[in-house]
Structure 1
């Protein structure tokens, strides 16, 4: 099995040999099992209550809230992963509660159906900002976004966008931050490193 850090194999003309895999790297907040189950029940209720709504549903094991996206690459960039670990190690943050209480869709080719909150808890905004600053100090300023819309994606619409609606609410005790590697089109994520948020 090839090492994910290996450079892509080249053909005789210097281009990638065969289909190029897309390696994705991001920081995410990872829910505990009880919270994943609560999100899954909301997705199940949506399927029952909106039978005409067709979607590509996210497996509950993949539920997360992206904190910072670090790009798509033809291989897993060891330099970016190392800088991301450095930023995560430097972070000083505590656990907090986040109550998700509404369902909506974002615009897109396959509009994401997402869980959000009417109010973003201050510790969540502070965590996003602190991690952004550490990533910039670690040399990743070109990778990170200047804006943040916290959400958990339940699925991707293959029909119409859903009007916003209240759900839940689900209160998530956020206690784990993870650096995640995924290969687009593959079922599983790989956790490169995780950090417990004390408190």
Structure 2
């Protein structure tokens, strides 16, 4: 039986469930990023959609977009994460810029405003995790541009150096994102090894 209002319902994305690996700043570091964002946008007004601070992250690897979650793919991703045993590390956010906009039918163009990051530990985690993913039949992309998205603005911003923001990364996560909603769910978190000072 068809409902009268069925034709008026918005269509969700064809592949509305996304799975990916990422690292997140802790609450203190996320607060520092938010203070920078606030001051930057006061000096350079760019209207757009702001990401919540609890969604600040640096993506490592995309596992896949699906119409519905696939347990075998999640299990394979968890096995890949289990193979990684690396020390905790620091990331330096050193510049801000806009990435190119990806047009979406029926939506205004938005340019992702991002902070660019770097760090040997981050690159090592990306490489190690990618190698583990291939062992379990997943595709891992070798190209990596570490970045943390702040907002989606109406106009692009050219790259600018900033006063460095340093983040301490002590874990990485497998994330389920519902593309039709601003919602993240941590499927599994893996702690990184914190080095201990030598006792004299």
Q: Same fold (TM over 0.5)?
A: yes
Deviation of 1:145 after TM superposition, in Å, equals 1.6
Instruction: Return the alpha-carbon distance in structure 2 between the equivalents of residues 39 and 194 of structure 1.
Output: 22
What SS class does the counterpart of residue 147 from structure 1 fall into? coil
State the alpha-carbon separation in 2 of the partners of residues 20 and 139 from structure 1. Answer: 29
**CA RMSD, 1 decimal:** 1.4
Work out whether residues 104 and 163 of structure 1, in 8 Å CA contact, stay in contact via their aligned partners in 2. yes
Question: Which of 27, 43, 52 does residue 59 from structure 1 map onto?
Answer: 52
Match of 2:174 among 176, 179, 185: 179
Q: Kindly tell me the number of residue pairs found equivalent between the two proteins.
A: 176
Structure 1 length as normaliser, TM-score? 0.84
User: 2:96 touches 2:162 (CA, 8 Å); kept in 1?
Assistant: yes
Q: Report the equivalent of 1:70.
A: 63
Work out whether 1:28 is the aligned partner of 2:22. yes
2:135 to 137, 144, 147: 137
Separation in structure 2 between the aligned mates of residue 68 and residue 139 of structure 1, nearest angstrom: 14
Name structure 1 gaps, 5 residues minimum. Answer: 1-17
1:111 aligns with 2:111: yes
Question: Which residue of structure 1 aligns with residue 34 of structure 2?
Answer: 40
Residues of 1 paired with 2:156 and 2:22: CA distance?
Answer: 25
Asked if the contact 2:112–2:150 (Cα under 8 Å) also holds between the matched residues in 1, the reply is yes
Question: Which residue in the other structure is 1:157 paired with?
Answer: 153
User: Does the CA-based 8 Å contact 1:28-1:179 persist in structure 2?
Assistant: yes
Equivalent residue, structure 2, for 1:12? none
Q: Is the 8 A contact 1:20 1:74 kept in 2?
A: no
Q: Which residue among 47, 61, 86 is the counterpart of 1:93?
A: 86
**Contact 1:42–1:168 (CA<8 Å) still a contact in 2?**
no
CA distance in 2, matches of 1:191, 1:168: 31
- Cα deviation, 1:41-67, whole Å, max 9, x if unaligned, reads 11111221112x112111111000000
Contact preservation (8 Å) 1:42, 1:167: no
Q: CA offsets per residue over residues 151-188 of structure 1, 9 Å max, x none?
A: 10001122x21011122321101111000001112122
How far apart are 1:20 and its partner, in Å?
A: 4.5
The answer to whether the Cα contact below 8 Å between 1:106 and 1:112 also exists between their aligned partners in 2 is: yes
Normalising by structure 2, report the TM-score.
Answer: 0.83
